[in-house]
Structure 1
Amino acid sequence: MPARTEIVEFNGLAGRIDCAVDWPDDAPRGWALCLHPHPLHEGTRDNKVVTTIARACVQQGLVALRPDFRGVRGSAGVFDKARGETEDMRELVAQWLERQPELAGTPWVLAGFSFGTAVAAQLDATLADAGMDRPAALVLAGTAVWRFQFRDVALPDDTLIVHGEHDEVVPLGELFDWTRERSVPVVVIPGATHFFHGKLLLLRQLVLTRLSRVLP
């Protein structure tokens, strides 16, 4: 559990971005951006998969940011099929580091669940194009990047992709079709569905293991 959670506001291209910030007990050694599922299907920053990943990040000493996308609760704008959401998250990253200059240059983690994976993967590619610091780890759960893809995406070789064997929203075969030419391994959790019901502790452990490898 985080030591404390505060609600902060960032400025996106469509207006306010409402964001929860989970702080660790001790001085943070980095930060994480955790992105939620489809806004038109009740996806919010409080989704259990998102909070599971965020708690793993906090346990590893990172500040975890959980923004609400456009049109969700206090965030302005309307759903933009990942394009506007990606630009908003680029603005959020820049504003966060301006507000927390002590975290500039520290390792950070970019994670997404379902629709959030489309924003995360395309944000990573956008940051690379701009010469900005890319995350030390990219974590994608219930991946659906291709369903909302508006630009080329080159996943880092060490991207952690976790998927449920019985994902009823994004069938496993679709994911394999997308990853086959990318040579990025997929971790399949046997018996898991899209929302990882009954498997969240295992998902958390997979994220913790990856973070322990990439964080100094």
Structure 2
Amino acid sequence: MLKTMHRQHENLPIVVVGFSFGAHLAAHLSCRQSQSVAIADFLLCGLPAGNVMDQRHYETPPVPGAYVVHGEADESVPLRQVLEWAAPQGNAVTVVPHADHFFNGTLPTLTRLLVERALQKVGAFPMSPAISGS
């Protein structure tokens, strides 16, 4: 799919965004990305790492440099697990206050964070103070 997107839009940067299991798949994609298709950034939201609520276990590969956003009150994947996954890679985790796993009531905040980061990474938008250093 990435190669097809790249062929159709070869002058545009690619930003991969994943939520929950999609973030887990995006992490695996980062391990397999082709040298011929450059990915500008990986944006991972509600990333499952380790054991989740119903005892499923996720071996999420490292994604150095990824932008990770997680809900403070995520009931499916405790924030602590994502912090433990991110720390060895040096990835910061942007925490959305009061957000559950589905970011209920905080979707405008999540959307703003993701759009600003994506535009900043592709050089179309300066980094806002709200997410600088992430």
What's the TM-score bracket when you normalise by the shorter of the two chains? 0.7 to 0.9
Deviation at 1:169, TM superposition (A): 0.5
Q: Cα deviation per residue 1:194-215 (whole Å; 9 max; x = unaligned)?
A: 0000000000110122123112
Residue 48 of structure 1 is matched in structure 2 by: none
Q: Contact (CA 8 Å) 1:163, 1:186: kept in 2 or not?
A: yes
Residue 107 of structure 1 is matched in structure 2 by: 13
Q: Contact (CA 8 Å) 1:110, 1:120: kept in 2 or not?
A: yes
Residue 156 of structure 1 is matched in structure 2 by: 64
Distance across 2 between alignment mates of 1:108 and 1:175? 24
Choose the corresponding residue for 2:106, options 168, 174, 199.
199
User: What SS does structure 2 have at the residue aligned with 1:169?
Assistant: coil
Distance across 2 between alignment mates of 1:145 and 1:96? 28
**Would you identify which runs of 4 or more consecutive aligned residues in structure 1 move more than 4 Å?**
none
Residue 125 of structure 1 is matched in structure 2 by: 31
Deviation at 1:121, TM superposition (A): 1.0
Q: Contact (CA 8 Å) 1:121, 1:145: kept in 2 or not?
A: no
Distance across 2 between alignment mates of 1:145 and 1:110? 18
> Higher Cα Rg: structure 1 or 2?
1
Matches for 1:132-147 after TM superposition, within 5 Å: 132-146=36-50, 147=57
User: What SS does structure 2 have at the residue aligned with 1:144?
Assistant: coil
Distance across 2 between alignment mates of 1:97 and 1:167? 34
Distance across 2 between alignment mates of 1:149 and 1:174? 12
- Unpaired runs of at least 5, structure 1: 1-91
Amino acid at match of 1:95: T
User: RMSD value over aligned CA atoms?
Assistant: 1.8
TM-score (norm 1): 0.50
Amino acid at match of 1:123: L
Distance 1:134 1:97, change over 3 A: closer
Distance across 2 between alignment mates of 1:206 and 1:107? 18
User: What SS does structure 1 have at the residue aligned with 2:91?
Assistant: coil
Q: Contact (CA 8 Å) 1:109, 1:137: kept in 2 or not?
A: yes
Distance across 1 between alignment mates of 2:49 and 2:35? 22
